[in-house]
Amino acid sequence: MSALNIKKGSNKHSAYNLRPTFSDVEERHTLAVIVDNEAGVLARVIGLFSGRGYNIDSLTVAEIDHEGHTSRITIVTTGTPQVIEQIKAQLGRIVPVHSVHDLTVEGRAVERELALIKVICTGDKRVEALRLADIFRTNVVDSTLDSFTFEITGTCEKIDAFADLMRPLGLSDLARTGIAALPRGT
Amino acid sequence: MTRQMTGAKMVVQALMDQGVDVVFGYPGGAVLPIYDEVFQQNGIQHILVRHEQGAVHAAEGYARSTGKPGVVLVTSGPGATNAVTGLTDALLDSIPIVVLTGQVPTFMIGSDAFQEADTVGITRPCTKHNWLVKDTANLSAVIHEAFHVATAGRPGPVLVDIPKDVQFASAGYTGPKQARTGHYQPQVKGDLDAITELVAALETAKRPVFYTGGGVINSGPAASQLLRELVEATGIPITSTLMGLGAYPASGKAWLGMLGMHGLYEANMAMHDCDLMINIGARFDDRITGRLDAFSPGSKKAHIDIDPSSINKVIKADIPIVGDIAHVLEDLLKVWKSRGRKVNAEAIAKWNKRIDEWRKVDCLSFKQDGPVIKPQHAIARLEALTKDHDRYITTEVGQHQMWAAQYLGFEDPNRWMTSGGLGTMGYGFPASIGVQMAHRDALVINVAGEASWLMNMQEMGTAIQFRLPVKQFILNNERLGMVRQWQELLHGERYSHSWSEALPDFVKLAEAFGAKGIRCSDPADLDEAIKEMIAYDGPVIFDCLVEKHENCFPMIPSGEPHNKMLLGQASTKDAIGSKGAVMV
C-alpha cells in the first residue's frame, strides 16, 4: 500500500473534466414553458436551474389563461447542446409543466423586452436625451423639470444600446422585464 | 351525491380507496385529527416506527418488495424534516412512496409557529412532486393525484402537506375515479422505428451485452419475464446494476453478475469490449461508468428508459428509446420475431467463449483460512443456507452491501432492497421491517455493517412491538469499512475517524429489546449460528465478528475505465491517480 501523492491544490483535477466528448460550444436558447399556475411552480423551475447548475440569463412569467390557470414562463439560458437538451428534458419532468418549447430551434421567434429608464439631466443633455429617445421610438411615461422616464420596447440589444447612450447623459435607474417571445408565423 | 366528511376522515378514506393496507408513521400535534381517525377504523394497519426516517425507509422496503406504493404519515416540523433523507433516497432510486405530513393551521403558516417548517419548500427538490392543501374540498382529490404521480412513469416519492384546520374542516369527498389525474401521463410505448433500429443492430451485433437496471424491476414482473425471454432466445450475455439484481436470475446461463465499481471482472470487461450495449432501465450512473471518456469505447449504445431526461444525460445514446420497459420489450420481441429471430449466432458464441475466459479469472475467489471469519465467507455461507427459503434481502451501505451484491444470488425481482443512488447508511434495518410487513411469513434478512446498523437501531422497538422476525446479519469489523478502504488507498493509511469505538454488546442489546442475540467469531461455528438465526421465530441481531481489514474487490479505482480493475490487495499500489482522487 502506498499513499498517493496528491499535489496541493490539485482540485483542478475535477471529476467533471472527465466528461465525454459532447460539443462544448455554448449556445443561447429561448425556452417557453407552459405550466399550471399553482403555488410553487416558479420555485420548481428556478430550483431545477440552481440545483443542477444551469444558467438563467432572463426569466419572465405571467398567467396567460385566467380560466385554465396556465402561465407562460420564458427562460433565456446558455449551455452546450447537451445541457440545453438536458434542461428541456428536466423541465418536461416537472409535474405541473404542460409543454416545453425551444423557440431557438423551432424556427424563428419574435423576442421583445420592455424597459423603463430614468435619466436625470438638464440643459443640453436633457435635449440630447429626448432626441435620442425619439430615435429609439421610446415613450416618455414620466417627466419632471430635471428628469425623464422612458419606456422602451425591443430586443435586448436595442435596450442595451439605448441604456449605453443614456449613461453619460445621466441615467439613474433602469428596470427591465426580461424577454417575452413567440414563434413567428402560424 | 358526494359524502361530506372531515379532512382527517378523507385521508383515511382516500388511503382505503387506493388499496392501502399498511401505513408507517409517527404521531404529533399537527396530525392528531388523522390519528384519531386511524384509531377508529380497522382497514389500515398503522406501524408505529421510532423515528420518522425509519418510517420512510420502511415504506420504501414495502414498496420495493411489493411494487405497490408505500405510505407514510408524520407530523409537521421535525416529523417532516426527519423524512427528508428517506424522500431523497426514494427519489434517487425511483421508489413510489406517498408521504402525508401534518402542518400548522393555514392561518398560522408563515408565523414561525410551534413545529412549523416550510415542508413543501424543504421537500421540493427531494420529491417527484408535492402539494400543500389549503382547502378541505381539494384534499381527497389531491391524495388520489398523489398516488397517480408517485406510480406513473418513473416512480418516485410525493408528499402531501395537510394543515390541521384542513383536517378538522368538512367537505365533499372525491373518489379515485372522479379525481383528476391531470395532464401527467408519461409515455409508455416506445417509438417503433427506434425499436426496429435496435432489432437491426441486435441481429448483426458480434459482441452484444444487456446492461439492465432498476427500471426493469420498477416496470413490474412482466418486464422481468420479457427480459428473460429475450436473453434466452438471443443468447446475449447480461449484466445488471446494483438496483436491477433479480430481474434476470443469478443462476441463468447468460448471467455475468453485477457490473460497476465493485462489479464482476467478466461483467465489466464485457461492457468495455462490447460492440452493442443495450441499456434497459439503467442510467449510466457514475458507479457504473467509471471514467467517462474511456467508457466502452467501441460500442454502439441503445438506451431504453421511461424518463427522457435519463437519455443523453451522461452517455450519448445512439439508439434512444423512451418508454416503459415491459412495453418496449414486448414490441422489441414482436419485431425481432417477425423479422425471423435472427442473431449473429456464430459471433455471439465466440463472444461468450471470450467471456468464459474472463470468468476463469474467478474474481470473487477468496480463501477462508485462519481463525477469523472472512466477510465474504460469512455472506457465502448465508447464501448457501438461505437461498432455498422464501427470502428477501435488505442492506445497509458500505462494504457489506457490495459483498452481499456479489455473493448472494437473486432469482426473482423485488427480492433485493438496497439504497443505491443515495447510499443511505441506516436504510436497511427499517427497510427490512417494511418488507416483513408485506411478507409476514418470509425470511427477511438485513445484511448490515455495525456502523450503518447503529444509525437506525431504535427500530428494534418497532420490530418487537409488531412481532416482525427480521434478521439483522451484522458483519462487524469495528470499522467503517468502505471509508477505511478508501483511506487506505487514497489517504496514506491515515484512518481518520473510520473505526467504531464504544460499540454496544449486540447480544445484550438484542436481549434488552426482547430479541435474540447471536454472536459468532469462529468460522467453525458459523453454519450452526446462521441456522439458529433462521430457526428463531422473532427478531435476531446476529453479531458476526469478521476480519477487520478486509478490502472489497474487484474494484474499479475512481478515474479509471472498466478494464483497469483491481482484483486484489496486491494490485492496489498506486492504483488511483490524482485525477481519480477527487472523485467519490
Q: What is the structure's pLDDT at A107?
A: 84
A57 Cα to chain B: minimum distance (Å): 22
DSSP A107-175: S-EEEEEEEEEEEE--HHHHHHHHHHHHHTT-EEEEEETTEEEEEEEE-HHHHHHHHHHHGGGTEEEEE
CA B319 from centroid of its chain's CA atoms: 27
List the single residue in A6, A17, A20 with the smallest CB-CB distance to B581.
A6
Residues in chain B: 584
For residue B322, what are the β-bridge partners?
B305
Note the ipTM here: 0.90
Going through B306-412 in order, the beta strands assigned E by DSSP cover: 319-322, 391-395
- The pLDDT of residue A72 is 97
Max Cα-Cα span within chain B: 75
Q: What is the mean pLDDT of chain A?
A: 89
- At residue A173, what are phi and psi to the nearest 5 degrees? -140, 145
Residue with cell string 457465502: B380
Q: How far is B311 from chain A (nearest CA, A)?
A: 9
| Known catalytic residue at B482 | yes
Chain B residues inside the 8 Å CB shell of A18:
291-293, 559, 579
Instruction: Give residue B575's pLDDT.
Output: 63
Distance from CA of B124 to the nearest CA of A (A): 7
Which among B183, B292, B573 has the least Cβ separation from residue A1? B573
Q: Chain A contact for B488, CB < 8 A? A: yes
List pLDDT tens digits, range B555-580.
Answer: 998 888 888 889 987 666 566 666 66
**A→B interface, C-beta within 8 Å:** 1-7, 10-11, 13-15, 17-22, 36, 39-40, 43-44, 47, 51, 82, 85-86, 89-90, 92-96, 98
Q: Up-side HSE of residue B431: CA atoms within 13 Å toward CB?
A: 36
Give me the helices (H) in B173-220, please. Answer: 192-204, 214-219
Crossing angle of helices A156-166/A123-135, nearest 10°?
170
Burial degree of A184 (CB within 10 A; 0-12, 13-18, 19+): exposed
Closest CA relative to residue B140, chosen from B106, B100, B81, B105 = B100
**How much is the pLDDT for B372?**
97
Q: What is the pLDDT of residue B568?
A: 83
Give the whole-angstrom CA distance, residue B407 versus residue B563.
Answer: 21
Angle between helices B32-39 and B7-17 (to 10 degrees): 60
Residues of B in contact with A3 (CB under 8 A): 491-493
Does the pLDDT value for residue A20 go beyond 50? Answer: no
- Alpha helices per DSSP H over B360-445: 375-386, 399-407, 428-438
pLDDT at A17: 38
B563 touches chain A (CB under 8 A): no
Angle ∠(B123,B127,B133) on CA atoms, nearest 5: 65
Residues of A in contact with B148 (CB under 8 A): none
Q: Is the minimum CB–CB distance between B492 and chain A shorter than 8 Å?
A: yes
* Residues B386-419 pLDDT 10s: 999 999 999 999 999 999 999 999 999 999 999 9
Q: CA-nearest residue of chain B to A83?
A: B313
B372 and chain A in contact, CB less than 8 A: no
Q: Is the dihedral of CA B58, B60, B61, B66 positive or negative?
A: positive
pLDDT category of residue A1 using cuts at 50, 70 and 90: very low
pLDDT tens column, B74-127: 999 999 999 999 999 999 999 999 999 999 999 999 999 999 999 999 999 999
- What is the predicted pLDDT for the residue at B581? 65
| Alpha helices in B448-505, H assignment, sequence order | 450-455, 460-465, 481-490
Ranges of residues in chain B whose predicted pLDDT is under 50: none
Q: Tell me the backbone φ, ψ of residue A152, rounded to 5 degrees.
A: -125, 140
Candidate list B10, B457, B482, B565, residue with the active-site label: B482
**Which one of B98, B106, B124 makes the best mutation probe of the A interface by having the most chain A beta carbons within 10 Å?**
B124
The predicted pLDDT at position B537 comes to 97
Report in angstroms the alpha-carbon separations of A127 from A145, A150, B415. 12, 14, 81
In chain B, residues with a C-beta closer than 8 Å to the C-beta of A2 are 492, 573-574
Burial of B440 (0-12, 13-18, 19+ CB in 10 A): exposed
pTM above 0.90, yes or no: yes
Asked if the Cβ–Cβ distance from A15 to B286 is below 8 Å, we say yes
Look at phi and psi of residue B398 and say left if phi exceeds 0, alpha if psi is from -120 to 50, else beta: left
Using an 8 Å CB-CB cutoff, list chain A residues near B293. Answer: 18-21
Of B183, B309, B579, the CB nearest to A93: B309
Residue A7: which pLDDT band, with cuts at 50, 70 and 90?
Answer: very low
End-to-end CA, chain A: 69
B164 is catalytic: yes
B52 noted as active-site residue: yes
Tell me how far apart the alpha carbons of residues B295 and B15 are, in angstroms, rounded to a whole number.
46
Annotation says B114 is catalytic: yes
Phi-psi region of B481 (alpha: psi -120 to 50; beta: other; left: phi over 0): alpha
